Each structure stands twice: as C-alpha cells, then as structure tokens.
Amino acid sequence: MAVDALDTRILRLLIEQPRTSVREYARILSIARGTVQARIDRLERNGVITGTGPVLSPAALGHPVLAFVHLEVTQGHLDEVGEALAAVPEIVEAFSTTGGGDLLTRVVARDNGHLEDVIQQLIQLPGVVRTRTEVALRERVPHRLLPLVRSIGLATAEPSN
C-alpha cells in the first residue's frame, strides 16, 4: 500500500497524540473530519495501523527481566513449535529467523530463576533441539516508529518551490 504525505501526517499525530479525537486531528491538519476518518480506516484495513490499545510495561507488571531466546528446531517442526510458544505467557514475541537459530523469542521474567524455568520449559518442547539465551541489560532505543514515519513523510512530501 502506498502511504502518501497526508497519511504520514495522520500517522504522526496518532503516534504523538494518541488520545486526541479524530475531530481534533482534522482541525490540526485543516482537513475534513470525514477525510481523516476515511484515511485512518484505510490504513487499518491495509494493515498499516495494527492496533490502538495501550502499550504496557512488562517490568511494571512484575517482569523486569528481558531476554532473547534463540531456538533451534528440528526440521519440519517449526509450525508446531511456534504454536507451542503461543501457550507460554512469558513469551511476548516470536519470529522465524535466518542465521544461528530457527526462532527468536522475546521473553520476560520476574527474575533470573524464573527466566531459567521458562527456558527449561522451552527446551522440553517437542522439536526444540537447543536454545541460546541473551539477557538484555538496558534498553538503549525503545520501540519506536515515529522516526520511520517522519522519514517516509519526507520522502513522500511534494517538493516545495
């Protein structure tokens, strides 16, 4: 889907002012409310906007330990291991990857002992051959998309004379 300059302006507002109304976005952008709503609806339909809920902190929920666990999986078992990972609440994300492992998971835990318990649970899943764990020490760049949206907006903006 092509994202144009107006779309990126709307996306920036959604990121920078997520609790603002569509009517207020329209006022800020000096366009009709219906236009803003139609654009937001299209961005949702096309998968550009994938959610609108709150962003939660695992640390504030009592899970301050963050680790990345790489899993090596027996050939032909990737789908079933992926499904089994979905049943582990401490796994907040999982991706199929190339390179040193088959799956990369982002795991949160209450403490190092809890992390070890989660890793032991993963090792026992049918199809998991080996794991490798890296514990995050400090977040250096938080999850963000605003810089990307800004750069897309600059690339799609019409040249000014």
Distance between terminal CA atoms of the chain? 28
The rounded mean pLDDT for the chain is 94
Note the pLDDT tens digit of each residue in 91-127.
999 999 998 889 999 999 999 999 999 999 999 999 9
Q: What is the pLDDT of residue 160?
A: 53
Predicted local confidence at residue 158, as pLDDT: 56
> Which pLDDT score, from 0 to 100, does residue 53 have?
84
Residue where the block lists tokens 């640390």: 59
pTM: 0.84
Q: Note whether 127 and 73 are within 8 A (CB).
A: yes
